[in-house]
Amino acid sequence: MNQNYKFTLVRLFEFPLESVFASLTTPKALSKFTGKAAFEPKQGAAIQMFDGWVTGEILQVELNKTFIFTWKVAEWESASTVEYHFDGNNESCKVTLHHYGFPNKKESDSHKLGWEEYVFTPLAEYLTAKH
């Protein structure tokens, strides 16, 4: 994968840090708004998301701070890397997403839009309904 193809997204959610973190790092919650997800949130565990379209390995989990994992779709020869960094309190949470190592610019651009459409927008809707 080419490290030159990457992007960063920053989103603010008006929900508690713990709730946002749990929604993005536990398969039960994540499955409610992205399709089936299967993983144990611990370093070295395999991860599947989006009904098995994405596979990878969890590289780092630090409660309410960091969630890093590899991201490989079936069409790719090798994996990219996703890093979530969380900063917040009982009222709001800032999520910084770094996604890097795409095979080409087209995949990078497509995924940048995909994070908005298939993760962050549904996450906001899920959190709104939950709270």
Does residue 60 register a pLDDT over 80?
yes
Decide if 65 contacts 73 (C-beta within 8 A): no
Mean pLDDT computed over every residue of the chain = 95
Does residue 1 register a pLDDT over 80?
no
- Tokens encoding 74: 């079936």
Strand order in the sheet with 80-88: 6-13, 93-100, 80-88, 66-73, 54-62, 46-49, 38-39
What pTM did the predictor assign? 0.93
HSE-up of residue 54 (Cα within 13 Å, Cβ side): 22
How far apart (Å, rounded) are the C-alpha atoms in residues 41 and 67? 9
Confidence of residue 2 (pLDDT cuts 50, 70, 90): low
- Tokens encoding 44: 């070295």
Q: Residues 102-129: pLDDT tens digits?
A: 999 999 999 999 999 999 999 999 999 9
Decide if 96 contacts 118 (C-beta within 8 A): no
Does residue 28 register a pLDDT over 80?
yes
